[in-house]
Homo-oligomer: A and B are copies of this chain.
Amino acid sequence: MVDILHKVGIKTPSDDRVFDALTTTEGLAGWWTEDTTGDAGESGTILFRFPPGGFDMKVVEVDPGRRVVWEVVDGPPEWIGTTVSFDLRREDDYLVVMFAHKGWEEPVDFMHHCSTKWATFLLSLKALIETGAGAPSPRDVKIDSWD
């Protein structure tokens, strides 16, 4: 089992804006993919779609202002059953997001790709909150021939 781990610090006085960006389809559409539908509340299922495909995530935990956990229930085979979590904490001027995408069975090429890609999306979340403009798919940062 191998994990993708990341950290960003978002310079904002508002913890709520970051939490909303993780727990509403409108918020998620502002930094991950514009084509986000479904129910982002606890026990809901969120449908994230990208030009090459997509992921269905079951929301397994929502701890207001502190933690959000999703389980991948449909998508590429390597993703199914993995979990994606966001742990939030305040450090002075920053709302810190500790990110984990856990449960990969093998460190395949696609995992390397997703690790880099997650970093760009977390920086998109940071930009969304700090500047008002994220870079969600299809306007996302391209990292390789897989997009």
Give residues in A with beta carbon < 8 Å to B.
2-9, 91-94, 96, 98-99, 107, 109, 111-113, 115-116, 119-120, 122-123, 126, 141, 143-146
Contacts and interface: CB of A to CB of B under 8 A. Distances in A.
B144 A113 contact: no
Residue of A98, A109, A144 contacting most chain B CB atoms (<10 Å) = A144
Contact of A119 (B91, B93, B109, B119): B119
Nearest to A120: B119
A146 B8 CA distance: 10
- Decide if the interface of chain A is mainly helix, strand, loop or mixed: mixed
A112 B143 contact: no
B94 A9 contact: no
Nearest to A119: B119
Contact of A120 (B5, B94, B96, B123): B123
Residue of A6, A98, A99 contacting most chain B CB atoms (<10 Å) = A6
